[in-house]
Amino acid sequence: MSSKLIYFNKVTPALKKILESNDSRGMQIFYWHEIPEGERKNVLKEADYFLVATEKITKEMLQSAPKLKMVQKTGVGVDNIDIKTAKELGIPVCKTPGANAISVAELTIGMILSLYRKLNLLDKATKNGQWLMWEHRLTSYEVYGKTHGFIGFGKIGKETAKRSKALGTKIIYYDKIRADEEFENSLDAKYMELDEVLKNADIVSLHVPLLPETEGLIGKRELSLMKPTAILINVSRGKIVDENALAEALANNVIAGAGIDAWSSEPVERDNPLLAFDNVVATPHIGAGTKDALNRVLSMAFQNIALVEKGKTPMYVVN
């Protein structure tokens, strides 16, 4: 009898096709949002695997799945999964590190360029019949020659740094684990403490997971350390930044702009004050949202499932 897998995020026909093409073992795949409410408990009882991106995996779900062998996250942030309960039940929770790094890195660079060249404003103005050929020149900038500060220098941070360096930036970074000397030398990257990165950077981008020690990492004090011409890019998790403090900083010209892909509440609340700023580029958590990244992530996920099916230990267990 084939194993049963539940995929928890919403799907389209195209996504189903990609999911099923990555399943070389012919598993029964159930799509959570297509299972009638009254049948979900029965499906949970028979499930061997959970595959999830951003949907919540709760204590109740885990306790209702006695046959569950593994929870596989498509991505690296596992704050949407009840890790404690999974550990208590002996269920490994696994991630797919590095699979989405290129997509997130490219979005980071895209946000920087959009903010520096006012692309969001000029696109809207041009389509509305305005010809702002000269109006923004004195507040537009090249990336070349700027200092790019990284908070978090894991796989995504490193991939972003490579691309930023290619545009001519100076790389500085803070991470609890310092990069190896060879990589530092390859980019002429300099390690600094957090406050020093904030003080010295023209661009600050966030690439850290959401943990108790990173929640609220960037607040009023940290924003006050940044240059008034600096921009902040958050492509990690929304709760790493105090959004009210960021809105206040933007309103008072403490910093020059922000690119936000991750929000404290998702979908973002319509009355979130950050949505009102012209110097904010806002996206709906699409850092890893490319077909290329999806194929890499799903390939890793199903390879991991294949290991468990063979009685082997899965890779990248977080609990």
* Residues recognised as catalytic: 237, 266, 285
Q: State how far the Cα of 31 lies from the Cα of 57, in Å rounded to an integer.
A: 14
Dist. CA 100–CA 59, nearest whole Å: 27
Longest dimension (CA), the chain: 68
Instruction: Please report which residue ranges of the chain form alpha helices under DSSP H.
Output: 13-22, 40-46, 59-63, 83-88, 101-117, 119-127, 155-166, 181-187, 194-200, 220-225, 243-251, 291-309
Enclosing H/E stretch for 23: none
Contacts of 115 (CB under 8 A, 6+ apart): 231, 256, 257, 258, 259, 279, 281
- Following DSSP, what letter does each residue of 234-263 receive, concatenated? E-S-GGGB-HHHHHHHHHTTSSSEEEES--
Amino acid residing at 3: S
Please say whether the dihedral angle defined by the alpha carbons of residues 203, 207, 209 and 214, taken in this order, is positive or negative: negative
* CA–CA gap between residue 8 and residue 32 (Å, rounded): 5
Sheet holding 170-174, edge to edge: 190-191, 170-174, 147-151, 203-206, 231-234, 257-260, 280-282
Cα angle 106, 226, 282; round to 5: 40
